[in-house]
Structures are given as C-alpha cells and as structure tokens.
C-alpha cells in the first residue's frame, strides 16, 4: 500500500477522537497521536472538570439559603484536596473510556507529539518515527494565551494548572473578561477565595448580548467578586509565600494566586504546517472550507484549531462531518450558526442565536422582549440573585433570532430554546406553547409586550 495509514489524526480531543472513530468504523486505517492525555481539553482540563468544580462551588450559597427552609448547617468546611482529587479521578475514568473507544473502533493510538513533515507525512517526536497517510487531520485544539513579556509571568497560572493546584488560594486574582475568567471567578469565590477579576475591557463577556453582560456585571459584583475593568497587569513579583501584582493603575495587590484567562490561540505553533504548505490566518488558525479541508487537499482541520466556534459539541460535529464526508461518502457541511452556549457564572447563562446588537445590525428592525425578576427559589431565602430573560425577534417575519437567559438552570433552558431558534420558529409559535408551572422557564413563553429595544 502506498501509505502507512489512510488517515492520521493529530490530537485526541473532542473532535479528533470522533473523527478517528467514525473513519475507522467506516473501514479506513486510522492512527491518532496525543501529546498530553487522551480526551483533550474538554475532558482533561476544560468543560468536564470545570463543571464539577462549579457543582462544588454551589454548596456555599446553598448552605446559606438552607436556613430559611428550616435547615441548620453548622460547621461546614471545605477541603480542596478532596474535591480536586475526586475530580481528577473522574477525569482519569473518562480518559480511559475515550482510549477504550478508540481501541474498540480499531484506531492505533500513539501517546506522543506529532508534527507534519509534509502533506502526507507526520513525525512522532518521542519515537522519532515517520509515518505516512493519505490524509492528515489537524485536531490540535487551542492553548491558553499568555501575557508575553509581562515581568513575573512565570508566577501566573492558566486554566490548565488551576485544576491541579497543590493548595487552595485564600486570595486569587483572575485576569480576563471571557467566559473562562468569569467561571473560574465563580468557582474560586464559591469555594471561599477572596476573588478579584481584572479585565482590560470595560465590560465582561464580549460577544454576548449587552443586557446579559450588564446583568452579569451587577450580579457578579453583588456576589462579592471584585471587578476591576479597563485595567491590565504590569508586574507580578514574589513576596514571601504570596504574590504582589502591580496594576496599570499603579495599585499593588497582594494575592496568593494569579490566574490568566485572557483567551486561547489555535494550537498550531511548531506543528510544521508551513512544511506542508497549509495556510493559516493571522491568529494561526488553519483556514478550511465548509468540509474542513485546508488549502492543501490531503490536509483537513477541525475544532478549535480552526477557530470557528470554539466549543466541544462543535468540534465533535466537525469531526463527525469530516469522517462522513470523506469515508462514508456523505458530504456533510457543518452549520455553525445558532450554536447554544453557556457560562457557568452566578447566575449561569444560557444563550442561543443573535444578541440585540448583532440582530439589529444584520436584520434591521427587531423587537425585544425582556423580563428581570427574582425567581421563586430565592424568595424564602432572601437570596438577591435575579433572573434575566430576553427574546430577540425579527419584526418583519416574527422569527425568533435569539434567546438569552441568565438565571438558575439557564444552560438547560437554552439547549431546548436552541431547537426553536434553529428551526426558525416565530414568536407566535413559541407563545402557542402552554406554560409549565411553577417553573422559571415558563416566563419565556409569557413575554407578551415588546420593550424599548435599546440595551439596559
């Protein structure tokens, strides 16, 4: 045979594993290489361990709220090592399942780094062997962005290390304003750290609907997380056991941990794409067409490394669609519109479709339906957390363009709302659904009158 394999996948994360399995089950001879741990970002140091930490962090508020329901919770203490180690046990279990599934599908797995030699050849760095394949799939994901050149950068950690901290920080300073920064602020705050979030922009969660952003700002501050906007770091120094951070305002902050969550870049550095002639954009993302094919016919790329929509279910869809297109004779483009997403802050966010600003820009006249209320769950306890719900509707057609929720269970609601948005349902059809009482979600189908449409 001309090549060692039909397909060589670089990166055993969400997308790479799915593509490898489906291609192999379709009869292709498939190999995959993973330089860290099989399962990738989501399973090892992303969605899964993060959500488990979020669950852990929620108990502190629940203990407080419990009093109004007659419970006495005394002497509750938190032990980081227990949570960290239990989360890691689950991560290891899941990684094992991914490994087994690859084996069962007949995929050969190499647990080492792979780089491109040319458009049909990869080199395995540990063993030094070179292998050829008819096609190569780049599924190397993304990596945390660092503040290159910041004095004392070596004292900071990223989300990669946050899951494995040897001890729990009494104080933490988180840098960034995206969803990862906010989620970690919520986690550390909930687990008991004095938490401060420093962001260079004037508001968190760029890309989300403006009302949601404003709501989260208010709610996050109300929780007791200190927000410092329009500010950057100029220096980190060790100061005994602790760290001393200098901000662009000149302020000094003493803290025990600095966590950088300022974004992620496509993981293509040192991959050898230039040797194969594969085109990347200015962020280093592999440029692909709707079938995930790169500028070189034998090289494809899926998931975060293409920087389209950087979420696990999208990487999995991309990987599956690639395998169906190439190995199951079913050309399948992936539609990256109306992908729901969540932010596990307090309250959590669930959102799908266009925000008000984007909708106005692309669709002209729109109607906004909005409500902001204290959910029943918080009435007895006096917990001041409020829920925001918002619908964005195209005026001419009545079509639902976006559903945005910040409140308890918002991510669960957004998954179902996404069905309606994706299906192109109108507000009238949405409203014809009878409410489910008593829930918070029922408010979504009871929004009768449009409000003044500018963001709060």
Ligand X SMILES: Cc1cc2nc3c(=O)[nH]c(=O)nc-3n(C[C@H](O)[C@H](O)[C@H](O)COP(=O)(O)OP(=O)(O)OC[C@H]3O[C@@H](n4cnc5c(N)ncnc54)[C@H](O)[C@@H]3O)c2cc1C
Instruction: Give the residues lining the site for ligand X (CB under 6 A).
Output: 10-16, 33-36, 40-42, 46-47, 50, 113-115, 139-142, 159, 180, 267, 271, 303-305, 310-313, 315
Q: Which is nearer to ligand X, 48 or 447 (CB)?
A: 48
Q: Which is nearer to ligand X, 368 or 418 (CB)?
A: 418
Name the CA dihedral angle for 55, 57, 61, 67, rounded to a multiple of 10 degrees: 70
Q: Which is nearer to ligand X, 142 or 355 (CB)?
A: 142
Contact of 139 with 305, CB cutoff 8 Å: yes
CB of 60 to ligand X, least distance (A): 21
CB of 191 to ligand X, least distance (A): 16
Is 336 considered catalytic here?
Answer: no
- Give the residue nearest to ligand X (CB): 13
Q: Which residues of 353-379 are buried (b: 16+ CB within 10 A; e: fewer)?
A: bbbbebbbeebeebbbbbeeeebeebe
State whether residue 32 is helix, strand or coil.
strand
Helix axes of 14-25 and 80-104: crossing angle, nearest 10 degrees: 20
Contact of 379 with 337, CB cutoff 8 Å: no
DSSP codes of every residue in 202-241: SSS-TTS-HHHHHHHHHHHHHHT-EEE-S--EEEEEEETT
d(CA 357, CA 206): 12
Return the sign of the alpha-carbon dihedral for residues 344, 348, 350, 356: negative
Contact of 52 with 181, CB cutoff 8 Å: no
Contact of 314 with 334, CB cutoff 8 Å: yes
Q: Which is nearer to ligand X, 41 or 378 (CB)?
A: 41
- Cis peptide preceding 347, ω within 30 of 0: yes
* Residue 97, H or E segment: helix 80-104
d(CA 407, CA 387): 4
Q: Which is nearer to ligand X, 140 or 257 (CB)?
A: 140
CB of 114 to ligand X, least distance (A): 4
Backbone angles phi, psi at 435, to 5 degrees: -65, 155
Residue at token pair 């869809």: 317
Active-site residue identified among 199, 215, 252, 437:
437
**Which tokens go with 271?**
């991959």
For the annotated catalytic residues, the residue numbers are: 437
């Amino acid at each position: 045979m001309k090549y060692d394999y039909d397909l060589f996948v670089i990166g055993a994360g969400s997308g790479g594993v799915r593509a490898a399995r489906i291609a192999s089950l379709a009869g292709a001879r498939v190999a995959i290489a993973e330089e860290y741990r099989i399962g990738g970002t989501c399973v090892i140091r992303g969605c899964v361990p993060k959500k488990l930490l979020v669950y852990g962090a929620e108990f502190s508020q629940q203990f407080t709220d419990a009093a109004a329901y007659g419970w006495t919770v005394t002497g509750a203490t938190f032990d980081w090592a227990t949570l960290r180690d239990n989360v890691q046990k689950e991560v290891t279990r899941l990684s094992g399942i991914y490994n087994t599934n690859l084996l069962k599908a007949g995929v050969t797995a190499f647990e080492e780094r792979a780089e491109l030699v040319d458009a049909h050849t990869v080199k395995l760095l540990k063993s030094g062997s070179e292998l050829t394949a008819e096609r190569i799939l780049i599924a190397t994901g993304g990596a945390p962005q660092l503040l290159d050149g910041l004095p004392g950068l070596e004292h900071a950690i990223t989300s990669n290390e946050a899951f494995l901290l040897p001890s729990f920080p009494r104080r933490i300073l988180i840098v960034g304003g995206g969803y990862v920064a906010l989620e970690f602020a919520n986690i550390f705050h909930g687990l008991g750290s004095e938490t401060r979030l420093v962001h260079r922009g004037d508001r968190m969660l760029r890309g989300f609907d403006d009302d949601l952003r404003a709501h989260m700002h208010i709610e996050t501050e109300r929780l007791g997380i200190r927000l410092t906007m329009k500010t950057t770091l100029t220096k980190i120094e060790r100061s005994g056991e602790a760290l001393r951070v200098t901000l662009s305002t000149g302020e000094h902050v003493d803290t025990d941990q600095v966590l950088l969550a300022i974004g992620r870049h496509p993981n293509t550095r040192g991959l050898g794409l230039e040797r194969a002639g594969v085109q990347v954009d200015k962020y280093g993302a592999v440029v692909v067409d709707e079938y995930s094919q790169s500028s070189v016919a034998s090289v494809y790329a899926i998931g975060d490394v293409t920087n389209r929509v950087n979420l696990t279910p999208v990487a999995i869809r991309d990987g599956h669609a690639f395998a169906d297109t190439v190995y199951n004779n079913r050309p399948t483009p992936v539609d990256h519109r109306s992908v729901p997403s969540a932010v596990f802050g307090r309250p959590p966010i669930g959102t799908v479709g266009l925000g008000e600003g984007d909708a106005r820009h692309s669709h002209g006249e729109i109607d906004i339906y909005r409500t902001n209320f204290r959910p029943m769950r918080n009435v007895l306890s006096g917990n001041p957390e409020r829920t925001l719900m918002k619908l964005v509707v195209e005026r001419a057609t009545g079509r639902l363009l976006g559903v945005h929720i910040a409140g308890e269970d918002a991510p669960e609601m957004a998954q179902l709302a996404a069905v309606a948005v994706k299906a192109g349902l109108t507000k009238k059809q949405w409203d014809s659904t009878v409410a489910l009482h008593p829930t918070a979600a029922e408010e979504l189908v009871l929004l009768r009158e449009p409000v003044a449409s500018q963001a709060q």
